[in-house]
Structure 1
């Protein structure tokens, strides 16, 4: 994905979270870190954004919008951020049911997030910029 391009995905997340990791990550996802606060949780190899759990709401209210943009540098005004290593240059964004892949230059990236509701997000904005 080139700078200033976007990925927009609208779908339900039946696990109540959006998971992000490097495409070549061989470590299993450690669900235990999910017990902390939110809405953005991170380990060295995974990031999670808590969203509305599609199993606990009406089908009409289950969709979550994920809006991803690659930018040349950090932007102001986003609530949460994580510095994240992408050795492969490919970031998986999704859950156990489906995922999308963002291809960027390998290296360290700043992942900046904004959510509409910290407890049950229905709209997640992610801006990625190189560090």
Structure 2
């Protein structure tokens, strides 16, 4: 994905989280969702954004809007941020059911987030910029 490109997805996340990692990451997903923190959780190689769990709402009410934007530098006003290495140049964003790959320059990236509701997010905004 080139700088200032955007990706928008609207769909349910049946696992209750959007998972983010380098597309070639060989480590098992290692985030503990039961630690009571959130909505953005991270380890060295994985990031998760907690969203409304499709099993906790009625049919047709589980859609989550994910807006991704790649920029040349960090933006102000986003409350959550994580640094993540992307050695393959491909960032995987999705869940166990489906994911998208965002093409980036290889290296370390700043992932900034905003969610509409920290407890049951239905709209996630993510901005990626190189570090």
Please name the residue that 2:38 is paired with: 38
Q: Which 5+ residue runs of structure 1 have no aligned equivalent?
A: none
Local SS of the residue matching 1:10: strand
Equivalents in 1 of 2:30, 2:74: separation in Å?
A: 28
TM-score, normalised on structure 1? 0.97
Matched, 1:112 2:107: no
Please name the residue that 1:61 is paired with: 61
Equivalents in 2 of 1:83, 1:21: separation in Å?
A: 11
The count of residues paired between Structure 1 and Structure 2 equals 130
Deviations 1:7-45 (A, max 9, x none): 0000000000000010110000024x2223000000001
Q: CA RMSD in A?
A: 0.7
Local SS of the residue matching 2:55: helix
Dislocated runs of 4+, deviation >2 Å: none
TM-score, normalised on structure 2? 0.97
List aligned pairs for 1:80-91, cutoff 5 A: 80-91=80-91
Please name the residue that 1:127 is paired with: 127
CA drift of 1:59 comes to 1.6
Q: Which 5+ residue runs of structure 2 have no aligned equivalent?
A: none
